[in-house]
Copies of this chain bind each other. A is one copy, B any other.
Amino acid sequence: MRGALQQATIAGSLGEIPVGALIVCGNTIVAKGANQTQQLNDVTAHAEMLAITAAAHYLGGKYLNHCTLYVTLEPCPMCAGALYWAQIGRIVYGTKDEKRGYSGIAPQLLHPKTQVTSGLLSEECAVLLTEFFRKLRN
């Protein structure tokens, strides 16, 4: 999750909502993603989506059932839907997204075999976001 936080910090420093992701397979980091919706002018460019695409490219296969996604913010329904298709093995997320997190909108979106852990370094993940939005308002 430290690596995902690093990606989130990079995103924030570029004016993006600071969300970062990492995909790990065995002991190897196979993909990193930082939210790039503003830079790429693309609503689909969430950290998780970019990481899923990059991981499949690195591994040479679309399915990530042996992989773990670390992401600083709870995935939205779009990302949860993509994680379903990727059949991701495990998701570890930092802070809960009360408004747009998949679990509050449609918890059935993930693949039935996907394991989920929440709350890892939750406070650090959340602080990045609250600081970002505080600065935006000022």
Chain A residues within 8 Å of B, Cβ to Cβ: 37, 41-44, 49, 52-53, 56-57, 60-63, 76-82, 84-86, 105-106, 108-109
Contacts and interface: CB of A to CB of B under 8 A. Distances in A.
A49 B62 CA distance: 16
A84 B52 CA distance: 20
A84 B99 CA distance: 13
Contacts of A78: 77-82, 84-85
Q: Considering residues A53, A76, A77, which has the most beta carbons from chain B within 10 angstroms of its beta carbon? A: A77
A47 to B, nearest CB: 13
B41 A82 contact: no
Contact of A81 (B52, B60, B63, B77): B77
A78 to B, nearest CB: 3
Given A43-B63, A43-B86, 15 more contacts: A41-B56, A41-B61, A42-B52, A43-B52, A43-B56, A44-B52, A44-B53, A44-B85, A76-B81, A77-B81, A78-B85, A81-B81, A105-B108, A106-B108, A106-B109
A63 B106 CA distance: 23
A114 to B, nearest CB: 13
